[in-house]
Amino acid sequence: MTAEAPVLDVRNISKSFGGIKAVDDVSFTVNRGEILGLIGPNGSGKSTLFNCILGQSRPDKGKVEVNGKPVLGMRPCDLSKRLGVARTFQMLQVFPQMTVLDNIILAGQEHSGTMLGRLMGASDAGLTESADRLIAFFRLGHLRDELAGSLSYGQQKLLDAAMAFMAGPQLVLLDEPAGGVNLTMLEHLKDRLSTYNRENGSTFVVIEHNMEFVMSLCTRILVLANGAIIAEGSPEEVRANPIVIEAYLGS
């Protein structure tokens, strides 16, 4: 694989529901180390596009590849294990009756060894150290042995994001990571995400409604409206683009 090959390659994706084109011939690529922001008003086709990237929804036309391999029809667990695609959900998704440490270990345990090996081997699948590193990185160390359900919302959101990184993914899809998080926690979350990206050269795609968050986190932004890309560029370019302003404010 050459250094230039994109991590995520979305090519000519179209998808309609009952005559309404949710996504109309969208193409873009994401390179290693990029944080791509995907923004657009409600109903612009973000979620449909997201589902196509996750292989959960079959596009009418076009294809999606991660590191050159098609995602279509892959079960979520295989997408995670075989292609190294991690994701978070719009709604908070942690395992409330498990400790923070167990949440993190679970996120990594299925990515190495065999099913039987996991039964016979060490109870933590040898992951406690890397889990602890990740917990320390997200500054959740003091909560390590607490039940995830007893954490505050912001802390759970951090944990939610941390779980996505446990398996050392090729591509991380973050669905509204900032939703409902208060201002101080937001800064912390943004700082952790961009530090992680800088230190590990990992690749993110972020869907987010919080403009400040997207603009300061992402390296490149795609603006979707009515199922098509209407603008693309750095945060500054997108912010200044009159088409984007019109799409958001309406005519």
Q: Is 158 an interacting residue with respect to another protein (CB under 8 A)?
A: no
Point out which span in 44-52, 57-65, 107-115, 240-248 binds another protein (CB under 8 A). 107-115
Helix H segments across the chain?
Answer: 46-53, 76-82, 100-109, 115-120, 128-137, 153-165, 183-200, 211-217, 235-240, 242-249
Residue 17 Cβ, how far from another protein at the closest point, in Å? Answer: 16
Is residue 97 involved in binding another protein (CB under 8 A)?
Answer: yes
Shorter beta-carbon distance to another protein: residue 110 or 232 = 110
Least distance from C-beta 201 to another protein, angstroms?
A: 22
Nearer to another protein, 44 or 155 (CB): 155
Return the residue of 110, 128, 139, 144 that touches another protein, per CB under 8 A: 110
17 binds another protein per the rule CB under 8 A: no
Degrees (nearest 5) of the Cα angle 99, 100, 106?
Answer: 85
Q: How far is the CB of 248 from another protein (least distance, A)?
A: 29
100-109 helix and 153-165 helix, angle to the nearest 10 degrees = 20
What 3-state DSSP class applies to 156? Answer: helix
Q: What torsion, rounded to 10 degrees, do the Cα atoms 181, 210, 160, 189 define?
A: -70
DSSP 8-state secondary structure symbol assigned to residue 147? B
Instruction: Examine residue 157 and tell whether it contacts another protein (CB under 8 A).
Output: no
Instruction: Give least dist CB 49 to another protein, A.
Output: 17
- If we measure between CA atoms, which residue out of 30, 38, 13, 39 comes closest to residue 66? 30
CB 14 within 8 A of CB 25: yes
Cβ proximity to another protein, 120 vs 249, nearer residue: 120
> What is the x/- site pattern for another protein, positions 117-146, by CB under 8 A?
-xxxx-xxx--------------------x
Query: Toward another protein, which CB reaches closer, 33 or 113?
Result: 113
Contact 65/85 with Cβ under 8 angstroms? Answer: no
- Minimum gap (Å) between residue 249 Cβ and another protein: 30
Using CB under 8 A as the binding rule, whether residue 202 contacts another protein is answered as: no
Size of the site for another protein (CB under 8 A): 42
**Distance in Å, CB of 159 to another protein, minimum:** 11
What is the token pair recorded at 211? 């403009």
Q: Is 24 exposed, middle or buried (0-12, 13-18, 19+ CB in 10 A)?
A: middle
The Cα–Cα gap between 238 and 240 comes to 5
- Do residues 10 and 29 touch, judged by C-beta distance below 8 A? yes
**249 sits near another protein (criterion: CB under 8 A):** no
Which residues of the chain form contacts with another protein (CB under 8 A)?
75-77, 79-81, 86-87, 89, 92-98, 102, 105-107, 109-111, 115, 118-121, 123-125, 146-147, 149-153, 156, 163, 166-167
